[in-house]
Amino acid sequence: MTTMNAESPQVDAPADLWTVGGADLGSRVLLGTSRYPSLQTLLDSVDASGAEVVTVSVRRVDLDASGDGQTLLGALRQRGLRLLPNTAGCYTAREAVFTAQLAREALETDWVKLEVIGDDETLYPDAVQLLKAASELVADGFQVFAYCGDDPITARKLADLGCAAVMPLAAPIGSGMGLVNPYALRIIRELLPDVPLVVDAGIGTASDAARAMELGYDGVLLNTAVSGAQHPAQMAAAIRHAVTGGRLARSAGRIPRRLYAQASTPDAGRVEVDE
């Protein structure tokens, strides 16, 4: 609920918990953990972002690593972060399901970010294989966070299957192009008003994250926008503030767009001078 401070006209951001995959989260930023210049830069960026959930690639991390703080997984666990293993690099439903099962056994979580890629050029999801994998994983008790294209029909089918969250892309992975099809993202939000929706992939800077939240999305998941920035922790902080600002703007209710101007000053009392 938005509050007013009696001694200051400043409007405070509302307490904004949301529930996804059976967990209550205070942060709406989900952060990837790959391609950072160093482990310390990653950890600084996680702290600056305020993220409570971080993604880890099952194919790229040592799942047998100890939690002593000297490894990626150990350092993340020390911070009490919730791990979201992903199936990056999988091209078939079979590969994705097998990878998810490995992650569940090694990391002791039923959360999985499901990615089933269609080709090496665009890294767009393969909708057919994605739906097949999602169906199998949901039936097997997974909380599936499904990365998909900006196709409203596929998004609705994933929701109907029982995915914990549907995560349409803003633009191709790592492109930094921002929200290239906000129209489709808006349709997905309107079709799925009660499903946790997260914009995933393509975010390039803070304004992209704010725009996603203004469209009514529940969160943003990003990696390259932070890890590839000149100052990753600074960008992570910018994303954090942008998400809060976009969410607050959404709840405030923007004015309608108009083709022509509308004067902010009323005509009453207008001074008229005869020529």
In a domain, 216, yes or no: yes
| Contact predicate 12/2, CB 8 Å | yes
Q: What is the mean pLDDT of residues 13-20?
A: 78
Domain count, the chain: 1
Q: What are phi and psi of 90, to 5 degrees?
A: -90, 140
Q: Can you list the positions of beta strands (E) in the chain?
A: 4-5, 8-11, 18-20, 23-25, 29-32, 53-57, 82-86, 111-114, 143-148, 165-168, 198-200, 219-222
In a domain, 207, yes or no: yes
- Name the pLDDT band for 149 (thresholds 50, 70, 90): very high
Output DSSP code: residue 230: S
15 has a pLDDT exceeding 70 = no
Q: Which residues are annotated as a binding site for 1-deoxy-D-xylulose 5-phosphate?
A: 174, 201-202, 223-224
| Contact predicate 134/114, CB 8 Å | yes
- Name the pLDDT band for 224 (thresholds 50, 70, 90): very high
- pLDDT at residue 69 in the model: 46
- pLDDT at residue 203 in the model: 96
Q: Which residues pair with 11 in a beta bridge?
A: 4
In a domain, 33, yes or no: yes
- pLDDT at residue 1 in the model: 41
In a domain, 196, yes or no: yes
Side-chain-side CA neighbours of 128 within 13 Å: the count stands at: 2
Q: Can you list the positions of beta strands (E) in 175-223?
A: 198-200, 219-222
| Contacts (Cβ under 8 Å, ≥6 apart) of 91 | 116, 117, 118, 126, 129
- How many other CB atoms sit within 10 Å of the CB of residue 63? 14
- Catalytically active residues are 113
- pLDDT at residue 2 in the model: 44
In a domain, 262, yes or no: no
In a domain, 5, yes or no: no
8 has a pLDDT exceeding 50 = no
Higher model confidence: residue 268 or residue 220? 220
In a domain, 223, yes or no: yes
| Digit-coded pLDDT (tens) for 228-262 | 999 999 999 999 999 999 999 999 998 898 899 88
Residue type, 76: L
Output DSSP code: residue 57: E
67 has a pLDDT exceeding 90 = no
- Could you tell me the CATH number of the domain that includes residue 166? 3.20.20.70
The range of the structural domain enclosing residue 229 comes to: 27-60+71-251
Instruction: Give the alpha-carbon dihedral of 221, 227, 229, 235, to 10 degrees.
Output: 50
Q: What is the mean pLDDT of residues 101-121?
A: 94
| Digit-coded pLDDT (tens) for 195-211 | 999 999 999 999 999 99
Percent of the chain having pLDDT more than 90?
77
Report the alpha-carbon distance of residue 97 to residue 253 in Å, rounded. Answer: 41
66 burial via Cβ count (<10 Å: 0-12, 13-18, 19+): exposed
Residue type, 66: S
Q: Is the dihedral of CA 49, 148, 247, 203 positive or negative?
A: positive
In a domain, 214, yes or no: yes
Residue type, 227: S
Q: What is the mean pLDDT of residues 80-103?
A: 95
| Contacts (Cβ under 8 Å, ≥6 apart) of 258 | none
- Predicted TM-score (pTM) of the model is 0.87
